[in-house]
Structure 1
């Protein structure tokens, strides 16, 4: 079994929040992640699990600390797993030069272009390595596994669920990047990670995935603030239109007074945990 180092452990909401580090075979460097185990899991009961993906510049701690998701996960008896947003300290040239590329900005894709392809393999890390590791260490039910995320992480969650609907049973997103291939953030990252290959963009753009026939069998919950300072780059309307075209059930909720911050996430997070609990505990 992979050696896992506990970096911190905290009692919270009747359960336990833990931060851990292990040597990642996908990333080729040590990786950190956070996990919340509800009281049921501490008692040995297998529980549903939701993987939560942070946005640009976030770490494995951010979502668990700032979102208030732990409180509602505890109420539903659901575990949370929070990966980092990229590999770190890989020695890749340029990885610390800009906030939106490299460290803290893995975009949850598998890079295919050098030098990024050696370590920036977050798509496979999240879909293969991290679930296998956490489900071997803790009483997490892999048959009841969901995914959600914020901003870049919302994009990652939607991509994961649309590409692998049998793996992720439920999905939701908070202010996600919905159409990255047509905005500066996405084009910059995709050009670097994929060497400018537009064919790869179709696998990593939620709007294009829907247009090409990818669907999730459940309804997708998305919340978007209309005071979001990045609204023009998030393109929620493109996701809504693509969902209508292919018949994907999508609940896009817009909030007149909300921005892109974790204050917005705290406002709606209870509904997201209820959404996942309904799907995973049915």
Structure 2
């Protein structure tokens, strides 16, 4: 692991790091905020998954999470959204390829070699965080935005014993039912069972369970009615008996102005469950 940069912030250290990933067969960059803590202490970990076109830098620069993490004693880890590099295949579109890994392990050529973001965020990077940072891996939670909200929900539903809390900002909740779901077909092929394993609504319909979810959604989000469809998650959670707190926020859009406004609420919610 190489250190790209570190800076003092809110009584802690905001770092950016790079390492060679076995999952993606590329170098990957990620950010970690570690608040000050007693020697030998192990701190809870919150994973933040970013959305389409983003890197680790978007939330690091604009998420306004550090004061809240410092107050609660939380490490926050922000991975990239896809593999990078000249050898990594790409397409000339903003919602597929680089910056749009959709947190799946691709099985179709030419994507399968490098686009293994599911393994990266569930196995590869957690092993590094556990070894290199004062992380208590028995106290983890996960959150994300848009495509990253999709990733947070599907990973949280798949590993309910690992993550004590799951939340999302404007998540893609049912990719198999919206246009952005084309990415799952491109990465995974036409196998509907494989696609359903990366669809939060389908996972719940197929029996995946968590106790509760927190979702914030702006009602002025331009992607709301065509791509995000929070009502589908609400219906699935109601039918499954999952306690969903879905907050429709008047006048808010899809941007980091929205995310940063409610970041503190989410981290308060995660901290309460990580302390339990």
Unpaired segments ≥5 residues, structure 2: none
Partner of 1:114: 109
> Does structure 1 residue 169 correspond to structure 2 residue 161?
no
Partner of 1:213: 207
> Does structure 1 residue 81 correspond to structure 2 residue 74?
no
Partner of 2:13: 16
After TM superposition, the runs of 4+ consecutive aligned structure 1 residues lying more than 6 A away are none
Shift of 1:267: 1.3
Separation of aligned partners in 1, 2:62 and 2:50: 11
Separation of aligned partners in 1, 2:17 and 2:185: 32
Contact in 1 for aligned 2:55/2:99 (Cα 8 Å): yes
Partner of 2:220: 227
Shift of 1:83: 0.3
Unpaired segments ≥5 residues, structure 1: none
1:35-91 Cα deviation digits (max 9, x unpaired): 0001117x4410001010110010011112111111211110000000000001152
Mapping for residues 1-282 of structure 1, pairs under 5 Å? 4-40=1-37, 43-89=39-85, 91-93=87-89, 95-186=90-181, 188-217=182-211, 219-232=212-225, 233-282=227-276
Separation of aligned partners in 2, 1:159 and 1:90: 29
Question: TM-score, structure 2 length as denominator?
Answer: 0.97
Shift of 1:113: 1.0
Shift of 1:96: 4.2
Contact in 1 for aligned 2:144/2:169 (Cα 8 Å): yes
1:200-232 Cα deviation digits (max 9, x unpaired): 111000011111110113x21100010001101
Structure 2 residue matching 1:280: 3-state secondary structure: helix
Separation of aligned partners in 1, 2:84 and 2:34: 25
Separation of aligned partners in 1, 2:117 and 2:33: 21
Structure 1 residue matching 2:258: 3-state secondary structure: helix
Separation of aligned partners in 1, 2:110 and 2:259: 35
